[in-house]
């Protein structure tokens, strides 16, 4: 199947009992057994639930994987990956990360004995040079949140395997979605999504996803999911599956609107700099062009010329179509202030090192009429 067909039919089948086209919401915790250990494939919903199974099959299909896993949040999906490791193991991660990921790494798992090294992943050599005998996992986020840096997934996976084939490479594909890039095809071992965002697409659920191809790795992840219990519930699974079926048409509009907003901001006299990988002068544009095959997504960040927090707050408080809120990837446009919202848990010294300043603003460009979005930005910038 081509991708647009996979979002609707990938991994899916009509429900056997009734022929229902959409999988029903199996709102049950347990399942009858005809004899101890003899069941119809389900025994307890922490292990598996038919609605979640349908979603996990869809997850696998859209990332060209063989196994998908649905979690109660994106962070619980990351937590599952880190539980593959042991005290003393090292993780190499990008220097520009979602604040919740950074918080989990440095404030939770670091005290359990894992070690973290943060490097600029815009050059694959930076990753390879950082590898030590203790390195067990490479954590890639591309495009990054919020500075829209691009990492060359294929180049990094090749460079890592030349050093040590046993190192796991995981990619947070939340910003790009499988519509734009498919990391498993580029050599990654694990793909992670905050399915809260574009996969769900309607700001009505919180969920995480993992997708893999390797059978052994899939068994390990499933055991952790079952044993730790951070699973997605059946209602959320139903909503996420519904969202996936329109992913391709939503992403087309997100990309169109994102590009138009980026171009508008780049020409505005109140804007200092725009972070958007679709621009030819973006330092990683050629890599983005190579691996983000259908566009550059709906995420745009920018800095005002007036770099004070007061100027940023004035803009943030006066948008009317863009809603000031956490999160991203819904059909509605959102505006975010990373320093005080999504990246507040990162120490100021670390934020400033990479350029997450008081005037940095992140937009999640929705699928509204572009004229309304541009008019809203214009009025908020000129107040």
Give the residue numbers marked as catalytic: 46, 98, 172, 197
- Kindly report the CA angle at 151 between 253 and 169, in degrees rounded to 5? 110
* Secondary structure of residue 232 in the 3-state scheme: coil
Q: Distance of alpha carbon 114 from its chain centroid, rounded?
A: 23
**160 phi, psi to nearest 5 deg:** -65, -45
Rounded (10°) CA dihedral 228, 191, 255, 123: 130
Closest CA to 157 of 127, 117, 132: 127
Q: Count CB atoms within 10 A of the CB of residue 199.
A: 29
- Give dist(CA 35, CA 119) in Å, integer: 55
For helices 215-228 and 74-82, the axis angle rounded to 10 degrees is 120
- Give dist(CA 4, CA 2) in Å, integer: 6
- Give dist(CA 310, CA 358) in Å, integer: 9
Peptide bond into 40 cis (omega under 30): no
3-state helix, strand, coil in the chain (%, to 5): 40, 15, 45
Rounded (10°) CA dihedral 54, 188, 351, 114: 90
Helix (H) or strand (E) holding 225: helix 215-228
CB of 25 closer than 8 Å to CB of 235:
yes
- Give dist(CA 305, CA 293) in Å, integer: 32
């Amino acid at each position: 199947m081509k991708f647009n067909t996979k979002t609707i039919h990938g991994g899916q089948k009509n429900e056997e009992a009734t022929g229902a086209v959409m999988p029903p919401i199996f709102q049950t915790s347990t399942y009858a057994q005809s004899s101890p250990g003899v069941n119809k494939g389900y025994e307890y919903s922490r292990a598996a639930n038919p609605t979640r199974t349908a979603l996990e099959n869809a997850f696998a299909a859209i990332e060209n994987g063989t196994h998908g896993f649905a979690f109660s949040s994106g962070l619980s999906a990351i937590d599952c990956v880190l539980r593959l490791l042991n005290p003393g193991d090292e993780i190499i991660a990008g220097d520009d990360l979602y604040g919740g990921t950074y918080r989990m790494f440095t404030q939770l798992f670091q005290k359990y004995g894992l070690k973290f090294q943060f490097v600029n992943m815009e050059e694959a050599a930076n990753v390879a040079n950082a590898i030590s005998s203790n390195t067990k996992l490479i954590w890639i986020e591309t495009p990054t949140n919020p500075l829209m840096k691009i990492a060359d997934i294929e180049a990094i996976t090749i460079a890592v395997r030349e050093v040590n084939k046993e190192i796991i490479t995981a990619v947070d594909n939340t910003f790009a979605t499988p519509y734009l890039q498919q990391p498993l095809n580029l050599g990654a071992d694990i793909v992670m999504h905050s399915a809260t965002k574009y996969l769900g697409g309607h700001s009505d659920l919180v969920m995480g996803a993992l997708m893999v191809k390797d059978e052994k790795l899939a068994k390990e992840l499933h055991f952790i999911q079952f044993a730790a219990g951070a699973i997605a519930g059946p209602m959320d699974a139903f909503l996420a599956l519904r969202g996936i079926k329109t992913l391709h048409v939503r992403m087309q509009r997100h990309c169109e609107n994102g590009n138009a907003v980026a171009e508008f901001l780049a020409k505005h006299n109140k804007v200092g700099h725009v972070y958007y990988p679709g621009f030819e002068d973006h330092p990683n544009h050629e890599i983005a062009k190579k691996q983000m095959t259908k566009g550059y997504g709906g995420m745009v960040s920018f800095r005002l010329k007036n770099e004070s927090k007061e100027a940023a707050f004035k803009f943030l408080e006066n948008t009317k179509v863009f809603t000031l809120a956490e999160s991203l990837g819904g059909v509605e446009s959102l505006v975010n202030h990373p320093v005080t919202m999504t990246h507040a848990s990162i120490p100021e010294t670390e934020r400033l090192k990479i350029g997450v300043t008081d005037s940095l603003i992140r937009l999640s460009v929705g699928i509204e009429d572009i004229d309304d979005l541009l008019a809203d930005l214009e009025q908020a910038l000129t107040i």
